[in-house]
C-alpha cells in the first residue's frame, strides 16, 4: 500500500476517502460506513507533502488548489479526519495526524521580543478592514463569542460575551481599566458605556488603532476611552482593572513569566484582571499548528491551564475564578465561515482565490479543533490580594444581567457589501 494510503487508513477509524491521483487508478481508503468523500490530487507531489507533515501539507495543498474535494468542502474533509480522532479518544490516528518530519520543529520556539511582536501582529491584524467587515459582527469582535443558546445570532452572542467578561471585573464608576490587545476598541467602549469606567486600550496594530480612535471620537467619549499604539510591556502605571481578550495566545510560551510579572506590576494592590484566551486541553503543547503558525498567526502558542497557573503563581497572582468554554468558539467560527463563504467573491476581488482558500482552511480548521481537537477557551480571573473581590460569585450574575440591559442591542446580521473592493496583495497570501 502507498504511504498516503497507509496514512489515511490510520486516520480514519470511521468513514472513507476515494483518492484520485495523477497516473493512478482511484483508490478507496478508510473504513466502511460513515461519511465518504472523493478527493483529487492535481500533481504527484501532493501526497509526499501530506505524508511528510500532514497538518501543514494538507493546508498548503488546499490553499494552492492542488487538493480538490469533489463532493464536499474542506470543512467536510477536516470533520471526517479530526472527528475520527477526537482529543478525548487518544489513538493511532492522532499520532499520525501530528506527525512531522522536521526534528527541529519543537526546538524552534520563537521569542516575541518587542520588534517581532509588532511584526507578528501586523501580519494578521493589519489586513484590510473591509475583510473583517465581511465576516465579523458589527462591533468587530474578533474573539470567541458567548452562546447562552447555540441558536443565538453572532451579534447576540458577541454582546453576551462582553457582558459576561465585564461582569467578572466587578467594575465601579471612575475606575481605570487597561485593555491589553484592544482590537478595534469594542470592549473598551462597552466597559465605559455600561460601567462608567475610564479605559486605556493598547494595541500593536496601526489599522486597529485608527478605527478604535475614530469610534471613540464618534461616540463622544475620547476623554474617557483612549487608545495607544504601544506594547503593554512598556507601560509604567497602575490600573484598578485589567482585561485582555484574545491576546494571550500571541504572547508565546517563552514570555509567560514576563506577562504575568508585568500584569502584577500594572495592577493596583486591590486590583483584578480577566484574561480570555484560546487554550489547549491537556498538557503542554509540543508546538504550534504548523499551518497556523506559518500563514495565519506567526509566533502564537496555545497555553495549557497548567502553564498559565504555573506562570501566574510565580508572580504571586491568585487565580480567583476559572471558566473553560469548550464549544463556544466552534459556534463562533461556524458563523464566521458561513459569512466568509457568502462573501467569497468580495474576498477574492480584495485579494485572490488562493487567499480565500487559505482563509477558508483557517476557519474550518478552527472549527474542528474546537469541536474534536485539543482547543478550548479559558477565562481566568486574577487578583493580587485575596480580599480584592467578593467571596462568592453572586456579584457576577447580578452584574451580567444588568449589563445585558444596558449594553449593546444586537443588530440584525448585515448584508454583504455590493461595492467591488480594490484588489490587494498581502504577505499572508504570498
The predicted-structure confidence for 364-415, as pLDDT tens digits, reads as follows 999 999 999 999 999 999 999 999 999 999 999 999 999 999 865 454 444 4
Q: How confident is the model at residue 285 (pLDDT cuts 50, 70, 90)?
A: confident
Q: How confident is the model at residue 269 (pLDDT cuts 50, 70, 90)?
A: very high
Q: How confident is the model at residue 422 (pLDDT cuts 50, 70, 90)?
A: very low
For position 420, what pLDDT does the model report? 44
For position 98, what pLDDT does the model report? 64
pTM surpassing 0.85?
yes
Contact call for residues 93 and 85 (beta carbons, < 8 A): yes
For position 380, what pLDDT does the model report? 98
Going by DSSP bridges, is the β-strand pair 176-180/198-203 parallel, antiparallel, or unpaired? Answer: parallel
- ∠ CA 7-12-13, rounded to 5°: 130
Tell me the domains of the chain and their CATH numbers: 3-101 (3.30.1050), 114-429 (3.40.50.150)
Sheet containing strand 67-69, strands side by side: 27-30, 16-20, 36-41, 67-69
Q: Quickly tell me which residue has 489515511 as its cell.
A: 8
- Any idea which of 65-74, 239-248, 254-263, 285-294 has the lowest mean pLDDT? 285-294
Share of the chain above pLDDT 90, in %: 77
Question: What is the per-residue pLDDT across 36-94, written as a single tens digit (0 to 9) for each?
Answer: 999 999 999 999 999 999 999 999 999 999 999 999 999 999 999 999 999 998 766 55
Residue 113 pLDDT > 80: no
Distance CA 218, CA 312 (A): 38
Question: What is the per-residue pLDDT across 171-223, written as a single tens digit (0 to 9) for each?
Answer: 999 999 999 999 999 999 999 999 999 999 999 999 999 999 999 999 999 99
Q: For residue 144, which of 332, 303, 297 has the smallest C-alpha distance?
A: 332
Distance CA 4, CA 294 (A): 23
For position 300, what pLDDT does the model report? 84
Amino acid at each position: 500500500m502507498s504511504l498516503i494510503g497507509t496514512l489515511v487508513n490510520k486516520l480514519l477509524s470511521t468513514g472513507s476517502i476515494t483518492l484520485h491521483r495523477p497516473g493512478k487508478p482511484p483508490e478507496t481508503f478508510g473504513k466502511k460506513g460513515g461519511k465518504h468523500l472523493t478527493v483529487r490530487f492535481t500533481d504527484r507531489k501532493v501526497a509526499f507533502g501530506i505524508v511528510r507533515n500532514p497538518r501543514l501539507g494538507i493546508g498548503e495543498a488546499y490553499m494552492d488548489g492542488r487538493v480538490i474535494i469533489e463532493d464536499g468542502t474542506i470543512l467536510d474533509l477536516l470533520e471526517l479526519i479530526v472527528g475520527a480522532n477526537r482529543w478525548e479518544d487518544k489513538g493511532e490516528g492522532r499520532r499520525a495526524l501530528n506527525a512531522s518530519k522536521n526534528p527541529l520543529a519543537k526546538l524552534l520556539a520563537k521569542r516575541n521580543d518587542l520588534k517581532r511582536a509588532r511584526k507578528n501582529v501586523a501580519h494578521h491584524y493589519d489586513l484590510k478592514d473591509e475583510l473583517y467587515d465581511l465576516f465579523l459582527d458589527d462591533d468587530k469582535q474578533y474573539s470567541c463569542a458567548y452562546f447562552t443558546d447555540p441558536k443565538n445570532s453572532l451579534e447576540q452572542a458577541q454582546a453576551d460575551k462582553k457582558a459576561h467578561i465585564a461582569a467578572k471585573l466587578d467594575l465601579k464608576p471612575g475606575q481605570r481599566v487597561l485593555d491589553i490587545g484592544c482590537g478595534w476598541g469594542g470592549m473598551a467602549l462597552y466597559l465605559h458605556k455600561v460601567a462608567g469606567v475610564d479605559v486605556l486600550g493598547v494595541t500593536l496594530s496601526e489599522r486597529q488603532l485608527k478605527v478604535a480612535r475614530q469610534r471613540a471620537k464618534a461616540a463622544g467619549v475620547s476623554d474617557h476611552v483612549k487608545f495607544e499604539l504601544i506594547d503593554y510591556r512598556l507601560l509604567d502605571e497602575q490600573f484598578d482593572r485589567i482585561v485582555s481578550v484574545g491576546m494571550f495566545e500571541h504572547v508565546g510560551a517563552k514570555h509567560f513569566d514576563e506577562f504575568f510579572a508585568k500584569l502584577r506590576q500594572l495592577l493596583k494592590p486591590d486590583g483584578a484582571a480577566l484574561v480570555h484566551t484560546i487554550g489547549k486541553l491537556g498538557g503542554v503543547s509540543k508546538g504550534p499548528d504548523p499551518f497556523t503558525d506559518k500563514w495565519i498567526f506567526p509566533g502564537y502558542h496555545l497555553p495549557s491551564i497548567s502553564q498559565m497557573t504555573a506562570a501566574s503563581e510565580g508572580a504571586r497572582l491568585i487565580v480567583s475564578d476559572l471558566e473553560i468554554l469548550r464549544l463556544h468558539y466552534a459556534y463562533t467560527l461556524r458563523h464566521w465561515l458561513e459569512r466568509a463563504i457568502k462573501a467569497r467573491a468580495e474576498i477574492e476581488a480584495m485579494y485572490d482565490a488562493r487567499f480565500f482558500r487559505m482563509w477558508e482552511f483557517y476557519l474550518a480548521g478552527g472549527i474542528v479543533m474546537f469541536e474534536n481537537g485539543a482547543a478550548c477557551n479559558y477565562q481566568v480571573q486574577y487578583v493580587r490580594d485575596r480580599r480584592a473581590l467578593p467571596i462568592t460569585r453572586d456579584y457576577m450574575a447580578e452584574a451580567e444581567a444588568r449589563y445585558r440591559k444596558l449594553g449593546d442591542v444586537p443588530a440584525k446580521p448585515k448584508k454583504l457589501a455590493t461595492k467591488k473592493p480594490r484588489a490587494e496583495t498581502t504577505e499572508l497570501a504570498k
